[in-house]
Chains A and B, each alone.
Chain A
């Protein structure tokens, strides 16, 4: 186990840091050696990537705050335009510099302004040449901003001529970032996924005060046994652990089992966790509903999940329109004459399709069809005569807003709009009943 060591920082701080970031010691020590001492210039930019909840954000934040390094932490999703992002960085810089000085509203529209204002802000902060860290979380959003933002951040040190390091955090690899005109290559670093052992260790660390660590760790063991197959997200697992812990403790509270009686406890909790996997984990029922159920001791079967309500009530002609759209989407045009023409001798063949055609067409997905064809099929599948009233046309539009149909290439209304049917066969079956 590598102990964190660095001459520039007090040993007590490092020890504390180590306890806060379990299973990420090697990454932290790597980062520390890159950062060097406070005044030393570091790399201009560092790119850290890793899967969801592999501790990127957490490690960076803990590292910077525990060692009290000057830093700015910005989430790029939250500040969705370049202007907001740049202004937010400046505001954070100003506000941490001095509390007495009222932060005047900053205006920063371009990077040029940003560099100028950044220099001012750094000068007013009296950092004594300490390295300033700018952490950009969810950095993949930067690609959607102006083209100059990402390259500029990568070489901000050079542009501003100040001791600054930009850290980019992202879930995707650097290769997907690289602009085609080329740019400064940052130092890339990978945070691997936590293994099951890591997860066990991290989750067991936060045991509730009223129970012993061993007891909680046994619980985590069972939890991971059930959920590890489907979910490796640390946050999610922690959430699930907290939700179901009360149920696990129940026999102990009632006095039916003691804390060491693992087998009994396992028998009690396992079916419960399985049920949780099908409901709460998928957000079929909400966590608060789940807790209430647990509290009342009711069966989860009583509460219907979100997917249980699939039935959609539609007006009479909307149903037929949707069925017609489905037929138009999945039947080839050449079969229309055979299926829908009345003078073909066999009228009863309307909704029937040959088996091999059906499977292949369903694998191909819906095909666009013109409005005329939809209406022609509608007239042929509805028994009585349908007048082309305004109401029929408005229903097509409302089906589009309900996302049951989708419009393809809405360039010209006169050109004959084309639609696609986006609902599944099961849905159509339910409607056609």
Chain B
């Protein structure tokens, strides 16, 4: 079914941005070549960084799995004849791997898993997908194909043809798999130690055969049941280990497998890191760092995070989106050539062409900057290229410094806000980051309320927070934090002094003791009133004073360092802010686009003649557009004759207002043909379908018209 949204009254603003091309440009005054190279190298850096992060994140899970695998068949090697082992039912060791709903990310995990297993445990790994295994036969074929093909790779090419022949003739059954396994393990036993010392030392004498079911949910129940039943009969000859990749919850095992089958398994549960934590780490390591010159603007980051949280939970897609931002930035912003490491800035700034200097002058943030300068400097900036370059270099350095400081102070602020009740500024640092990038955070209500809450923190919390802040600032690379650190340390020492001088509290304690002695109701009331009175009028305690002072100091830091990037001069060079472009790319709305194209062809065809005003139907529009617009006015069933009538009226209307009587009652053949073609095009697009309910009617599949 299709949906049609009536166009809103507001006209969509068209992006008139001319198309740039990375390379094919008549004059290379805007350093396209260099931009391209910079973009590539930057992306490569980021890519290797993310891979490293993901490896670290998965390490725990993979280690657990490896130890499970090595444990699982240890008894198989010992061949113990102990009573319990003899009596016990041989179960297939199974790892249930809960990976979360983001199926697109699973591939990466499985790839690293199979790499790790290949290195540490066993060379015999088969990865099965549900779409390849509609029946048990296909499953066995796939399984044997993967295992035995691998064998060919391992044994180089010396005896390839013999294996190849047998492979074609091989019967897809468990018994042939077992005989293959026996032959393979025997071969490794008899191999000369010099030939493959490393491989035999890495794996054991009889390495387990690991079968990974990538998407457990999609497998047919019968296939899984049969496979498990078969392999459990041969578990003595073939040390099999199963790994179930589960996207939802481990309950699915019980739903898919009856007790008679699940009793053949020895299931252990492994859980991967939640994808939200995964994202937090990625954001922390990629965005909240001064390692990369390229930065995301607030709106863009919000778009990426929203796609993640609202739609797919896929970290891979997030990174892909980030990559798109980089490409888009370097592609559309000629000045992005300056988006490089600080070391290279000077050289690049001085090699800028005159056109590029003009580009700088055109930047809105630079204009604002110029307007603030005195007139003499203004003229210099606008006319003298070399002066401009000097200034630009200085400003860029400022911008880099700003970012470094920003990150450190942001972390400090996060230490405070993340421990407040109800998290007015968000629990995660990414929320805080977005808030700060978006606008002046100190002007928001949430900030105000969180300061209020911070003024009510107790002492121990406050001390630990201050200590954390000191640590963050000490470890940060930003300059100019010496004073801040000193100030914070001062606060800490003041706290210590407070502890020593706490006679004041003793007084209040003694008054409370007095209160307990009183038994007379009247006296009690009186003393209570007195106490209340004194508390109200009492001056703030030293601790409270100090607390106010600290919060005010933090506030001043925020106001100084957490200025939104949009306010900084030349931010366009480092920050990517084209959120609408990104949204169009990543969160496409095909139905809306189709509707726009048909309803308002001018939007895409850019033909002035097509520009229509209001709801009128122009006869110059393509036939399909006319037919589409007419069909919007119909109900669920459309009478073809009426439709044709309306079509011919529209088409002929403007052409010949003084139409002859001859053509009025008989529709022109050409118009008829055009109509039929347009209608069948609509059918192809899925807007209508032939109906059997009424003759000469078509059913409308779109919705929302009338």
Interface residues of A (CB under 8 A from B): 52, 75, 77-81, 84, 87-88, 105, 206, 208-210, 233, 235-236, 238-239, 241-243, 245-246, 282-283, 286-289, 304, 306-307, 309-318, 370-372, 375, 387-392, 394-395, 398, 401-404, 414-416
Contact = CB atoms under 8 A, between A and B. Distances in A.
A402 B248 contact: yes
Given A208-B87, A395-B312, 12 more contacts: A84-B171, A246-B84, A283-B263, A306-B96, A306-B253, A309-B249, A309-B269, A312-B248, A314-B101, A316-B310, A391-B587, A402-B101
Nearest to A386: B310
Given A306-B254, A401-B103, A80 B136 contact: yes
B307 interface: yes
B217 A402 contact: yes
B689 A414 contact: yes
A78 B174 contact: yes
B547 to A, nearest CB: 36
13 contacts: A282-B259, A287-B91, A288-B72, A304-B269, A306-B253, A311-B249, A313-B274, A389-B588, A390-B587, A391-B587, A395-B312, A398-B101, A415-B689
B218 interface: yes
A372 B2 CA distance: 8
Contacts of B215: 401
Nearest to A241: B87
B421 interface: no
B588 A390 contact: yes
Contacts of A316: 309-311
B477 to A, nearest CB: 36
B254 A307 contact: yes
Nearest to A311: B249
Nearest to B247: A402
Contact of A287 (B1, B226, B252, B266): B266
B83 A209 contact: yes
Given A239-B88, A286-B266, A388 B701 contact: no
Contact of A283 (B252, B265, B271): B265
Contacts of B591: 388
A370 B3 CA distance: 13
Most buried by A among B93, B229, B263, B590: B263
B89 A404 contact: no
Nearest to A171: B260
B468 to A, nearest CB: 29
Contact of B260 (A52, A209, A306): A52
A372 B265 CA distance: 42
A238 B87 contact: yes
A404 B101 CA distance: 11
A318 to B, nearest CB: 7
B700 to A, nearest CB: 12
Interface in B54-75: 71-72
A243 B251 CA distance: 24
Contacts of A208: 83-84, 87
Contact of A242 (B72, B88, B172): B88
B310 A317 contact: yes
Contacts of A371: 1
B98 interface: yes
B31 to A, nearest CB: 35
Contact of A306 (B103, B263, B267): B267
A388 B247 contact: no
A317 B101 CA distance: 13
Contact of B313 (A78, A282, A313, A415): A313
A209 B86 CA distance: 12
A286 B244 CA distance: 15
Interface in B206-234: 215, 217-218, 226, 229-230, 233
A314 B275 CA distance: 10
B689 A310 contact: no
Given A287-B91, A402-B101, A414-B686, A389 B251 contact: no
B260 A283 contact: no
B398 interface: no
Contacts of A415: 689
Shortest Cβ-Cβ A-B pairs, 3 listed: A239-B89, A242-B87, A208-B83
A306 B226 contact: no
Interface of B: 1, 3, 5, 71-72, 83-84, 87-89, 91, 93-94, 96, 98, 100-101, 103, 136-137, 169, 171-175, 215, 217-218, 226, 229-230, 233, 247-254, 259-260, 262-263, 265-269, 271, 274-276, 307-313, 587-592, 686, 689, 701, 703
Contacts of B310: 315-317, 391
A81 to B, nearest CB: 6
A370 B89 CA distance: 48
B295 to A, nearest CB: 25
Contacts of A78: 173-175, 230, 233
- Of the listed residues B3, B137, B267, B274, the one surrounded by the most CB atoms of chain A closer than 10 A to its CB is B267
Contacts of B248: 312, 402-404
A283 B310 CA distance: 35
Contact of B84 (A80, A242, A387, A401): A242
B680 to A, nearest CB: 14
Contact of B252 (A79, A239, A403): A403
B266 A288 contact: yes
B91 A88 contact: no
Contacts of B308: 315
Contacts of A390: 587-590
Given A315-B101, A414-B689, A88 B173 contact: yes
Contacts of A314: 101, 313
Contact of A391 (B226, B247, B311): B311
Contacts of A233: 263
A92 to B, nearest CB: 10
B201 to A, nearest CB: 27
B588 A375 contact: no
Contact of B701 (A105, A389, A416): A416
Nearest to B75: A288
A391 B312 contact: yes
A238 B89 contact: yes
A81 B136 CA distance: 10
B260 A312 contact: no
A385 to B, nearest CB: 10
A416 B689 CA distance: 11
A75 B311 CA distance: 47
Nearest to A75: B233
B543 to A, nearest CB: 40
A388 B276 CA distance: 25
Nearest to B169: A105
Contacts of A387: 587, 589, 592
B92 to A, nearest CB: 10
Given A395-B311, A401-B217, A375 B3 contact: yes
Nearest to A211: B83
B98 A309 contact: yes
Contacts of B87: 206, 208, 238-239, 241-242
B665 to A, nearest CB: 36
A293 B169 CA distance: 48
A196 B269 CA distance: 35
Contacts of B263: 233, 236, 283
A75 B136 CA distance: 15
Given A387-B589, A391-B587, A236 B101 contact: no
A307 B87 CA distance: 28
A310 B249 contact: yes
B137 A81 contact: yes
A389 B587 contact: yes
Contact of B230 (A77, A105, A403): A77
A203 to B, nearest CB: 10
A414 B230 CA distance: 42
A77 B229 contact: yes
Contacts of A375: 3
Given A81-B137, A286-B268, A414-B689, A88 B175 contact: yes
A389 B589 contact: yes
